[in-house]
Structure 1
Amino acid sequence: MVNSNDPSIKKADTYEALRDQGASKEKAARIANAQARDDMHPSKKGGKAPPYEDWSKKELYARAQEIGVDGRSDMRKDQLVKALRNH
Structure 2
Amino acid sequence: MLKWFPRDNEMKDHNLFGDEFFGTEPPCTMYEKRPLINPDTKEEVPDLFTAWIILNNPAQYNSYTTEMIKGVIAGMHRASMDRSVVAIIF
TM bucket, shorter chain: under 0.3
TM-score by length of 2: 0.23
Report the structure, 1 or 2, having the larger helix content: 1
Q: Could you say which structure has the larger radius of gyration?
A: 2
TM-score (norm: length of structure 1): 0.24
* Structure (1/2) with the larger strand percentage: 2
